[in-house]
Structure 1
Amino acid sequence: MSTPMQYYNSIPPVSKKYATICLLTSLGCHLQLYHPSILALYYDDVFKQFQIWRLITNFFFIGYFSFTFAFRLLIILRYGVQLERGPFDKRTADYIWMFFFGALSLLVLSAIPFLWSPAMGGSLVFMIVYVWSREFPNTRINIQSLVELKVYYLPWAMLAIDLVLGNRLMPSLKGIGVGHLYYFLTVLYPLAGGSNFCKTPFWVYP
């Protein structure tokens, strides 16, 4: 049986870094080292006070320590890791680009007032779930020993869980939408004979 450190060291690099940063970000809020509002996406502060970091830090807050936080962290460590070890194996740059694409798309959506969210870590996590569900559509999954369903329907099942937990649905819906856009542009459209307009740019490669 592996130790916690052995497990941590076994996590592939992108998922490890994102999960670690999200954990430390929420830990800092829990210890009251700072308030989440300093990380949040406020476009007025970005453009009028040049607080550029908000364009990035809002993606690292996935909630205060709670069931929702644990659920989202588990998604990164389970489905994110399976993506990185499976379809994105030896394609680290492509996996990083998926995150970049998702973040950029969410920033654009949040410029629309009724689609704005102060923190979009949850949306990025839902993008991971959606892409994973499309890569492994026929796999069957058991949710809390209550419901068994095909992975293809997992994002919608998790949306229902968000509804039960009283979480806002808009961030999750945005994650699903951006995940579908990424999968359509990188997989479905090229398979249909179209060009890959979402090809990983050269500057992402090490």
Structure 2
Amino acid sequence: MSTPAEYYRSLPPVSKIYGVTCLMTSAAYYLNLYNEENIALFYGLVFKRLQVWRLITNFFFLGPFSFPFAFRLIMIARYGVSLERGTFDKRTADYAWMLIFGALSLLVMAVVPYLWSPFMGISLVFMIVYVWSREFPNALINIYGLVSLKGFYLPWAFLALDLIFGNPLKPDILGMVAGHLYYFLTVLHPLAGGKFKLSTPFLVHKIVAYWGEGTQINAPVQSNPSAGIIFRGRSHRLGGTQTTTTSNVLTMKRGRKRKKRKQPL
């Protein structure tokens, strides 16, 4: 049986960083190190006072320590990790882009006053669960040892649990909408013959490669040489650039010799 430290080190990078950040944010709130209003999403303060950090920090607060908070953290550890190790295996940048796209989609939805919420981390977690349910629709899930169902129905089961426990349903529904939008643009629309496909931006690939965590197949950029992990595409060969350069130099020298031989006396 692995120790907590071994389990922590075995976690994939994106899910680990997001889960730990959410845990530290709630721990700091529990210790009264900050006021929750200072990290909440208020567009008036974002545009009038340029408090742009609110566009990011609101996604890392899953609420104070409580059963709902622990449940959301378990969702990240269970379904976020499973998604990153499964569908997004060796696609660290793509998984990071999925979360970024989900966050951007939720920020756009929050412009509508009725859809606004001061903290949209729960919606982002629910987006992860929704995408997992579409990627693993036939996986068998057991909820509290009482109900067994397929993975495709998992978001709806969690929605029903929040209804029973009296938790707000709007964050869950917004997360499902963001998850379906991402899945439609990346999977369903291209399979239907659509020309547009939502691909991971080059900048995200570059940041992940420079960061040096995880692995990435067919990344358009090479990793930082000082990083401990190499991001290699399928056609990447160590020393390939050096070999090509040497062969070009030899070819140029041979061409010069042939020209000298052809010159008239």
Q: TM-score, normalised by structure 1?
A: 0.98
| Partner residue, 1:52 | 52
Superposed CA offset, 1:106-129 (max 9, x none): 000000000000000000000000
Structure 1 residues 1-206: aligned runs within 5 Å: 1-205=1-205, 206=209
Letter in 1 for 2:81: V
Letter in 1 for 2:119: A
Superposed CA offset, 1:10-50 (max 9, x none): 00000000001000000011111112111100000101111
Superposed CA offset, 1:131-152 (max 9, x none): 0000000111110011111110
Superposed CA offset, 1:68-121 (max 9, x none): 000100011110001100000000010000001000000000000000000000
| SS of structure 2 residue aligned to 1:142 | strand
Q: Distance in 2 between matches of 1:121 and 1:164?
A: 21
| SS of structure 2 residue aligned to 1:141 | strand
Taking only the aligned residue pairs, the percentage that are identical comes to 66
1:200 deviates by 0.6
Gaps of 5+ in 2: 210-265
Q: Distance in 1 between matches of 2:112 and 2:70?
A: 29
| The structure with more radius of gyration | 2
Q: Distance in 2 between matches of 1:195 and 1:90?
A: 25
Say what the alpha-carbon RMSD is for the aligned residues.
Answer: 0.7
| Partner residue, 2:258 | none
> Greater relative contact order: 1 or 2 (C-alpha under 8 angstroms, separation 6 or more)?
1
Q: Distance in 1 between matches of 2:164 and 2:147?
A: 15
Q: Distance in 2 between matches of 1:65 and 1:177?
A: 27
Q: Distance in 1 between matches of 2:66 and 2:160?
A: 18
Letter in 2 for 1:140: L
Gaps of 5+ in 1: none
Q: Distance in 1 between matches of 2:108 and 2:8?
A: 34
Kindly tell me the number of residue pairs found equivalent between the two proteins: 206
Q: TM-score, normalised by structure 2?
A: 0.77
The answer on whether the counterparts of 2:123 and 2:174 sit within 8 Å (CA) in structure 1 is yes
Letter in 1 for 2:67: F
